Chains A and B, each alone.
Chain A
């Protein structure tokens, strides 16, 4: 039963978006990637969900501002294991043009275990899809390891 669940869950990861203080550019790109038929991400079996408790792949945007840090960590702790964390845009990776600001606590990988970085400011929809496809591979490995 568990093995069947691992196989089935590997084919339909649910995506969850955490905005850690992004400028909204990457968020708009994420929504554009997922929702419009031109870059249809649901072909890969993905689906956006509204609750962190349902999430499999967490997409992190933004650079971890000081005000949002506690809330983001609380939200991330609610995502059940196994999970894959993807940093979308260059802000979570390096802090981008805002790094060194008094309001920024980033980069995000100092607080969350980031697995995959997608670079771009904002990334192209194709780059996001490539990163999510990579994340799905990782998610399959993890969920199968978890089931066996």
Chain B
């Protein structure tokens, strides 16, 4: 008689089918989905491109920064780039809905420019990690926090002048 009570109970219970195309989908918060890159935190070190199994990440050097592109059609959502990113610029969202028409195939990219900063003395371009991220201690707080950071050559000059007691 157990099955009869089961049948009657099933008549009044809610369906187990996910409502998705007609209602909202349930997505776990920890789901490893689309890659997101924070342009401010990225220093263009190319660690992500080295570890990417699908070769989805491409870095090119431009005049005013390093351009990082992730082609989602090659990304296998493995999360290696997010794991190895030294500045934690790459994060994985739980967005999985990347379906698109084939005409938009090459527009499904994450395209950011990690900007260079300008040397206060000679005006050359240099990449300075943002305060609070990787190597901020190694690079030196005063260099990081300065409104106009110094490039390596200018910093050496400044330090040499300080040692011999000359003016800057």
Contact = CB atoms under 8 A, between A and B. Distances in A.
Among A114, A116, A130, the most chain B Cβ lie within 10 Å of the Cβ of A130
Among A119, A121, A127, the most chain B Cβ lie within 10 Å of the Cβ of A119
Size range of the chain A interface in the assembly: 20 to 34
A98 to B, nearest CB: 9
Size range of the chain B interface in the assembly: 20 to 34
Interface string B74-89: 1111000000000000
Contacts of A147: none
Nearest to B98: A119
Interface in B92-134: 96-102, 105, 108
A40 B16 CA distance: 10
Contacts of A127: 96-99
Contacts of A51: none
Contact of B18 (A38, A99, A119, A134): A38
A39 B101 contact: no
A36 B16 CA distance: 10
Main secondary structure of the interface of B (DSSP, over half): loop
B25 interface: yes
Contacts of B17: 37-40, 43
Given A39-B20, A94-B74, A117-B101, 20 more contacts: A38-B17, A43-B21, A90-B73, A90-B76, A96-B76, A97-B53, A99-B55, A115-B102, A116-B101, A117-B100, A119-B75, A119-B100, A121-B75, A121-B76, A124-B31, A126-B27, A130-B20, A130-B21, A130-B97, A130-B99
25 contacts: A37-B17, A38-B16, A38-B17, A38-B18, A43-B22, A93-B73, A95-B74, A97-B54, A97-B55, A97-B76, A99-B74, A115-B101, A117-B100, A118-B98, A119-B99, A119-B108, A120-B96, A121-B54, A121-B75, A123-B96, A124-B96, A126-B18, A127-B97, A129-B20, A130-B99
Interface of B: 16-18, 20-22, 25, 27, 31, 53-55, 71-77, 96-102, 105, 108
